[in-house]
A and B are shown apart, each in its own frame.
Chain A
Amino acid sequence: MDQLAETARLKQSTEASFRPMTGNEAIARGAWEAGVRVAAAYPGTPSTEILENVGTYPAEDLHAQWSTNEKVACDVAIGASFAGVRALTVMKHVGLNVASDALMSQTYIGVNGGLVAVVCDDPGIHSSQNEQDTRLFSRLAMIPVLEPADAQEALEFTRWAFDISENFDTPVIVRSTTRLSHTRSVVELGERSEPAPRGFLEDPSKNVMIPSHARARHPALLERETKLRAYFASPDFTPWERGDGKVGVVTLGTPYTYVKEVLPGASVLKLAASYPLANELVAEFCRSVERVFVVEELEPVIENEIRALGFEVAGKAFFPRVGELSPELVREGFEKAGILERAAEPHDWDVEPIARPPVLCAGCPHTTTYMALRSLDARVAGDIGCYTLAAVEPLRSIDTCVSMGSSIANAAGMAKTGVETKPIVATIGDSTFLHSGIPPLIDAVYNKANITVILLDNHVTAMTGGQEHPGTGRTLRGEETHRVDYEELIRSVGVTWVKTVDSYDVGAMYRTFREAVEHKGVSVVISNRPCVLDPVKIRGPVLAVRAENCIACQTCMNLGCPAISWSDEWHDGHHKVKIDAATCIGCTLCSQICPTDCIQPAAG
């Protein structure tokens, strides 16, 4: 093919209306196309990129913001809905726990402008503390849940969610999963259509949830559920792919693609909404086939409801209830059920893979805190963030990690037992502190707990990829704004002992921690240094080991710095170490603790 024709062909196939997008990008696009005016979220894997992407659409079209936590974000979106515009809030599955108080009331209230919450579940726990199933929550809250199966549907379902929200007077959840959120495929783009703002709807009986009003709303919810059941029975939303009459599969979301991959001939009822279930359609489907299977990730939600309709159905007997599904697991399930012939045993490769667990970055400012805590022999209540990695060797100095913001109150609780003999310390990241660390700090002061709180201020929400928060002084769109002064804030709630230390000053950290734990009452140490990865990648003057002086004592290896590994040289039977120049960022922590002073600036 000649060059010109070639170029023309390449151009043609990248028409602007088709674009490869991740599920998250597609959800953001869908929200923009739906005419969203206000979007608010707190980051959380795998949902984070949704709001980051919403923030790339023009500021004239919509306001996008990072909020301090999911409840605040949800309330901001609710406020915008009250005011009559379309509003979006986004969170990871556990974020829904935080936002749930607001949503549980809002479901009674309904909406004015369309209100959509995108919730990303993490089956398989790629980066979370549990694998709770949002679909169970939807039943409690009686909020409809849409479950897209690929990026195209992610866009369409998000758009459509706003219509449902307004037409049925309900908040709507769009449920994604890690796999959908982080898979890229081609999406057909549409235009933005922004509905005219509706204006505030003055109706206290609906907007003000006092008991007398709420009592009247509960029946409205039941009625809404019935209407939605009928609505979702439309083949536009719940396509019935007629295959052979023997095997029928009810499935939804990404698992639908696994079913199509391993069982292309089966009859499939693909649900767009997992709540409420289109009962009559499902019943008709079940009657039309000999055996019914449900392939769904995590809990047997659909399975149990179909069983309650009086049908014999198989699901979790063959497909695991824990972890993420995959085409392999779905195939295995159908093999066990006798639907597919057993595949050949997997090939046996003669190799032994190594472990490569995640580690703190070279030069991570959290390192010193945990080095110092390790030697303080403290009882440490941890929290959630990059620093949770200090729970494993070599730093291994976190004793507990529950949920975001738990550390301070967990420590206070331990202290109140009066039986813990070690100094009791809570460690909490800056973003986590602002998320949910302030009420427990006030509580600890109020109740005179004897604890030390270490605020790990790395000036960013690092774990989720470096988002702004109120302590960074910048908004989601990068505008300057007020920057929280932690010392001032902490003193204002009654903490009298507060000190800020440079996280790279090992000696000062050790001394300050010692002083802090001697203080009776609540003491706070702010460990202060920017994350080396975000928002700017820090590269310092690299250090190197003078091998001739290294006594292979491994003290530096105790940091767990990924730039340090063993060299080919030995000292008295132990490995000497070397520093990888491409990884070292020059934080100097290793040189500060090396007993022979053999770590020095690299030559040249």
Chain B
Amino acid sequence: MKMDRVATATTNVLIVGVGGQGVIMISKVLAELCQLQGHQVKQSEVHGMAKRGGGVFSHVRFGERVWSPTIPRGEADILLALEWAESLRWLGYLRPDRGTFIADTQQIVPPFACRDRRRGAADAYARETPSEVLDQVAKGFALDAGRMAAELGNLRVANTILLGALSTALDFPAEDWRTVLVRSVPPKTKDLNLQAFEQGREWVTRAATAPAPVALRRPGGLEGPAVEVELEIIEAWCKGCDICVKMCPERCLILNREQIAELSDPAACTGCGICEWLCPDFAIAVHKRTADQVGA
């Protein structure tokens, strides 16, 4: 049996970001607008861990009849990302042949990405640059909405700028977008939000004719010769106070049977130096040697 996809009649917009960025606000505006245009709309999000700095996503689907609340993988017509690394996580949902990709280049580096404490290590944030991603998508925009919002004097309107960008990818009258937008923002910020919305729209129009390169910090490691770490524990001076054992970030020190500090897992030691720094009796020294110095 061969079935035609009913899903082709449904438009799918996936909005993603990090907790607190306003993913839900954008998707509510979009859902309300779609409804006003006479579509059936489903908007699905999963709360729970969102507030604790995890990722947030919202599926908005509209059309004559919408069945599943979630967008099947590979069927998002638009992917709107409020944070750069999140745009990459959800790329698999975008239609490879004709999906539109809109991403803020803002980078929210999670503490999890700053875990490798070895000397010279790079952070674990996304390596892909905007141009590398834009080259892969059918249609794409990467804009620095944060900077644009800062120029407007209020960082919080970055969302509205992105909403403006989104509005260019959907076939609704701009006036209707503005009407719904004004209804969803505090009255005092109406003009500012309208201005931000316009900026987002204009940015896309401009980028379509003359794409502007977007700079993105590329988290690098430290170049230079490899270093070997050697921990010297002067047993005679150690009084077994336990401070180093407790504070070592890698949990690689122990007190041995004689109640003397001992490096239990040399491979885990990163040479961070906190034990040397904290030892009240100067019993620990962290030596770092490059290859040519080893053995010297």
- For the complex, give the distance between the alpha carbons of A126 and B72 in Å: 18
With an 8 A cutoff between CB atoms, is B293 at the interface?
Answer: no
Q: Are B126 and A352 in contact (CB under 8 A)?
A: yes
Assembly CA distance A127 to B109 (angstroms): 23
| Residues of A close to B273: CB separation below 8 A | 551, 553, 572, 574
Of A178, A347, A560, A575, the residue contacting B74 (CB under 8 A) is A347
Would you call A351 and B46 a contact (CB within 8 A)? no
Q: How far is the CA of A555 from the CA of B91 in the complex (A)?
A: 36
- Contact status A327-B114, CB under 8 Å: no
Residue of A nearest to B128 (CB): A351
Contact check, B73 vs A557: say whether CB atoms are below 8 A apart: no
User: Which residues on the A side are within 8 Å of B47 (C-beta)?
Assistant: 45-46, 127, 182, 465
Complex CA–CA separation, A264 to B1 (angstroms): 12
* Set of chain A residues within 8 Å of B133, measured between Cβ atoms: 351
Q: Report the interface size class on chain B.
A: 35 or more
Contact A246 B274 (CB under 8 A): no
CB within 8 Å for A10 and B179 given contacts A45-B47, A375-B246 = yes
Q: Give the chain B neighbours of A257 by CB distance below 8 A.
A: 67-69
A350:B54 contact, CB within 8 angstroms: no
Closest B residue to A326 using CB positions: B70
Is A570 positioned at the interface, with any CB of B under 8 Å from its CB? yes
Q: Could you mark each residue 98-119 of chain B with 1 if its beta carbon is under 8 Å from any beta carbon of chain A, else 0? A: 0000000000011111110101
State whether A6 touches B175 (Cβ < 8 A). Answer: yes
Report B147 CB to chain A, min CB distance, Å.
14
Interfacial chain A residues near B120, Cβ < 8 Å:
573
CB 8 Å contact bits of A368-395 with B (1 = contact, 0 = none): 0000001101000000001001000110
Q: Which range contains the number of A residues in contact with the other chain?
A: 35 or more
Interface status of A604 (Cβ within 8 A of chain B): no
CA distance A562 to B271 in the complex (A): 24
Main SS of the interface on chain A?
loop
A64 CB–B CB distance under 8 Å: no
Q: Does B267 contact A (CB under 8 A)?
A: no
Q: At the interface, yes or no: A492 with Cβ under 8 Å from chain B?
A: no
B96 close to A347 (CB less than 8 A): yes
Q: Which of A327, A389, A393, A533 contacts B72 (CB 8 A)?
A: A327
State the CA gap A355–B89 with chains docked (Å). Answer: 9
- Which residues of chain B are near A339, meaning CB under 8 Å? 1
A13 at the A/B interface (Cβ < 8 Å)?
yes
A553 contacts B114, C-beta separation under 8 Å: no
Q: Which of A6, A184, A582 is B43 in contact with, Cβ under 8 Å?
A: A184
Q: When the two chains form their complex, are residues A328 and B73 in contact, meaning their CB atoms are under 8 A apart? A: yes
From the candidates B31, B53, B173, name the one contacting A184 in the complex (CB within 8 A). B31
Q: Does A538 contact B (CB under 8 A)?
A: no
Chain A residue nearest to B274 in the complex (CB): A553
Contact partner of B36 (CB less than 8 A), chosen from A14, A328, A357, A555, is A14
Q: How far is the CB of B153 from chain A (nearest CB, A)?
A: 15
Given A352-B127, A361-B52, A573-B120, A260:B110 Cβ within 8 A: no
B123 CB-CB contact with A under 8 Å: yes
Task: Flag if B92 contacts A346 (CB, 8 Å).
Answer: yes
Nearest B-chain residue to A564, judged by Cβ:
B111
Asked if B227 is an interface residue, CB under 8 A from chain A, the answer is yes
Contact residue among B85, B117, B288 (Cβ-Cβ distance under 8 Å from A353):
B85
Is B126 touching A327 in the complex (CB atoms < 8 A)?
A: no
Establish whether residues A264 and B3, one from each chain, have CB atoms under 8 Å apart when the complex forms: yes
* B51 within 8 Å of A (CB atoms): yes
Q: Which of A517-541 contact B (CB under 8 A)?
A: 533
Rounded to whole Å, the gap between the CB of B178 and the closest CB of chain A is 11
Cβ < 8 Å to B, chain A residues 323-363: 326-328, 331, 339-341, 346-347, 349-361
Q: Is the CB of B91 within 8 A of A264?
A: no
B269 at the interface (CB under 8 A from A): no
**A553, B40: Cα distance in complex, Å:** 55
Whether a CB of chain B sits under 8 angstroms from the CB of A185 is yes
Q: Quick one: which of B45, B49, B272 contacts A552, CB cutoff 8 A?
A: B272
**A347 → chain B closest CB, angstroms:** 4
Quick one: CB contact mask for B47-66 with A, threshold 8 Å, 1 for yes?
11101111100000000001
**A312: Cβ under 8 A from any B Cβ:** no
Q: Does B42 contact A (CB under 8 A)?
A: yes
Q: A10: which of B3, B44, B66, B176 is its contact (CB, 8 Å)? A: B176
Contact flag A557-B249 (CB < 8 Å), given A261-B7, A552-B272, A574-B119: yes
Contacting pair B2 A341 (CB below 8 A) = yes
* Interchain CA distance A274-B73 in the complex, whole Å: 29
Q: Are B3 and A183 in contact (CB under 8 A)?
A: no
What is the bound-complex CA distance between A183 and B175, given in angstroms? 27
Among candidates A186, A327, A552, A570, residue contacting B35 with C-beta atoms closer than 8 Å = A186
- Within 8 Å of chain A (Cβ to Cβ): is B291? no
Q: Which residues of B sit under 8 angstroms from A184, Cβ to Cβ?
A: 28, 31, 41-44
A155 CB to closest chain B CB, in angstroms?
Answer: 15
Contact A356:B3 (CB < 8 A) given known A127-B48, A349-B136, A375-B246: no
Residue of A nearest to B173 (CB): A1
Selected from B46, B69, B89, B222, the residue in CB contact (under 8 A) with A570 is B222
Q: Does B6 contact A (CB under 8 A)?
A: yes
CA distance A572 to B273 in the complex (A): 10
B251 to chain A, nearest CB (A): 8
B161-203 CB mask vs A (1 if < 8 Å, else 0) is 0000000000001011001000000000000000000000000
B88 proximal to A (CB < 8 A): yes
Cβ-closest 9 pairs across A and B: A127-B48, A375-B246, A358-B52, A573-B119, A347-B96, A358-B49, A353-B89, A358-B54, A183-B69
Q: Mind listing 14 A-B residue pairs with CB under 8 Å?
A: A126-B49, A182-B45, A183-B42, A183-B44, A261-B68, A340-B1, A347-B74, A349-B92, A356-B86, A356-B110, A359-B54, A554-B249, A562-B53, A582-B155
Interface residues, chain A, with chain B CB atoms under 8 Å away: 1, 3, 6-7, 9-10, 13-14, 20, 45-46, 126-127, 150, 178-180, 182-186, 244, 246-247, 254, 257-258, 260-265, 326-328, 331, 339-341, 346-347, 349-361, 374-375, 377, 386, 389, 393-394, 465, 533, 551-555, 557-558, 560-562, 564-566, 568, 570, 572-575, 582, 595-596
Q: A358-B53, A596-B277 are known contacts; what are 10 more A-B pairs with Cβ within 8 Å?
A: A1-B173, A13-B38, A261-B72, A341-B2, A351-B133, A356-B89, A356-B110, A357-B112, A394-B249, A574-B272
